[in-house]
Amino acid sequence: MDASPIQAAYLPFAGTLRAGGFSELGASWSASQIGAHICLSSELFSDLAERLHGGEDVSFDTSAVVDDAGLCAYAAGVGGTAALADAVLASAARLGQACDRLTQEERTRPIPVTMWHDGQIVRDSPMPLGDLILGHGEEHLAMHHEQLQALQPQDRIGSPVIAAGWPSGRGGLPPWT
């Protein structure tokens, strides 16, 4: 995985976050929480990739990056959504660099994975780190970008506001489970 495609995948999300003007009414997470979640998730993946490349045994647990209070605290510490957009892009750059250093063997090595959604474990089984990172950069980021866009006024995104949350057709589960 090259740094450029990883960073490029984050540009639309960061642009939407930077645009601001979000409505928070009825949202499960605010725009700041969504931005914090993406940033902290990317930082977690970077940390795992760096540690795995350094020879450590690693495991992935999303509990820290889905905690409402933790997301609010992180977002408040960073600043507004424009500052969060900068933090998201910085986390994408770090993730790209960390991925570039991984060997093929490291990318395909299964690690223990525990994923949480709405207080429930939705995945508790090993998965290759490379697949996790790829799923994060493609499906997970896109899903949260749609969730973020749903918090913008309708005329800003040019289509009816979609319901925030997981895409339908998956029984409420994240698409990478």
Structure tokens at 164: 């925030």
Mean of all residue pLDDT scores within the chain: 85
- Domain limits at 44? 3-157
The predicted pLDDT at position 153 comes to 81
The per-residue pLDDT for range 46-60, each reduced to its tens digit, is: 999 999 999 999 999
Top mean pLDDT of 61-70, 85-94, 164-173 is at 85-94
The one-character DSSP state at 167 is: P
What is the reported pLDDT for 169? Answer: 41
Mean pLDDT of 134-148: 91
**Residue 142 is part of a domain; what is its CATH number?**
1.20.120.450
Count helices and strands (H / E) in the chain: 8, 5
165: in domain: no
For 151-172, what is each residue's pLDDT tens digit?
A: 988 654 444 333 334 343 434 4
What integer pLDDT is reported at residue 135 of this predicted model? 86
pLDDT of residue 28: 86
> 3-state DSSP: the chain helix, strand, coil percent, rounded to 5?
60, 10, 30
122 within some domain: yes
Band of residue 109 on the pLDDT scale cut at 50, 70, 90: very high
Q: Is residue 48 part of a domain?
A: yes
Mean pLDDT on 3-11: 83
148: Cα within 13 Å, side-chain hemisphere: 27
Reduced to 3 states, what is the DSSP secondary structure of residue 27?
coil
How far apart, in whole angstroms, are the C-alpha atoms of residue 139 and residue 120?
20
pTM, two decimal places:
0.83
User: Whole-angstrom Cα distance, residue 76 to residue 171?
Assistant: 32
Q: How far, CA to CA in Å, does 79 sit from each of 32, 35, 82, 143?
A: 9, 11, 8, 23
What pLDDT score was predicted for residue 154?
67
Sequence-ordered strand ranges (E) for 4-117: 60-61, 110-111, 113-117
Quick one: CA torsion of 108, 58, 42, 83, rounded to 10 degrees? -160
Residue 169 within a domain: no
**167 within a domain of the structure (yes/no):** no
Domain count, the chain: 1
Determine which of 86-95, 101-110, 126-135, 160-169 has the lowest per-residue pLDDT on average: 160-169
Structural domain contains residue 97: yes
In a domain, 79, yes or no: yes
Neighbouring residues of 45: CB distance < 8 A, sequence distance ≥ 6:
95, 98, 129, 132, 133, 136
Tell me if 141 is assigned to some domain.
Answer: yes
Q: Of 4-8, 54-58, 77-81, 138-142, give the lowest mean pLDDT range.
A: 4-8
